[in-house]
Amino acid sequence: MQIITKGGNMIEVSEHNIKQVRSWLKAGRGIALWKSADLCDPCATWLTPGDVTTPPTWRAQRAPSAVTTSPDEISVIRYGKPVFVRNLSLRVGASRTRIKLTDASQRRVQNVIARIGKRTGSEPVLFFELDEIGRPMAAVYPIAAKVRLSDLPEDSGES
């Protein structure tokens, strides 16, 4: 699970990335946030050490959108308990290169996102996963808190 964005003056990273981010900061490399140049997936982002000058993938922009060496400029997103939307139906996209949700499944997922967003006051994070027997499902995670990396104890996120 990975979410990386630039919110205001902060680089926001998932709580699951804390260990890697801290190792890069301790080594003095910093971190770099790369945004997507791929029009089919404009929300994709990648995180690399700050001293890396080449994009991590062909889908990334040519230069990082943010670089920092300070833990004060990094916000860690903590998630609440996920809500699962099961039994999703898929279809092949118009270009025949992507798989998409059917309209009915899309509405079900959007309704859950709206409900959680209304309840928590912030937009939840959506991930697609496979259930126990390999069927697609959506996991909608409400954002429980955003905490500065420098405010977290050193041993947090070391899973």
- d(CA 61, CA 48) in angstroms, rounded, equals 13
Contacts of 120 (CB under 8 A, 6+ apart): 80, 142, 143
Rounded Cα distance between 37 and 67, Å, is 18
Sorted by sequence, the CB contacts under 8 Å of residue 148 that are 6+ apart come out as 10, 71, 72, 74, 75, 76
Widest CA span of the chain, in angstroms? Answer: 48
Walk along the chain (159 residues) and give the pLDDT tens digit of each residue.
455 555 567 899 999 899 999 999 999 999 999 999 998 888 889 999 999 999 999 999 999 999 999 999 999 999 999 999 999 999 998 888 888 899 999 999 999 999 999 998 888 988 888 889 989 999 999 999 989 999 998 876 544
* Nearest 10 degrees: Cα torsion 96, 97, 100, 102: 10
Are 34 and 64 spatial neighbours (Cβ–Cβ below 8 Å)? yes
Question: What is the pTM for the complete model shown?
Answer: 0.75
The residue to which tokens 């126990």 are assigned: 132
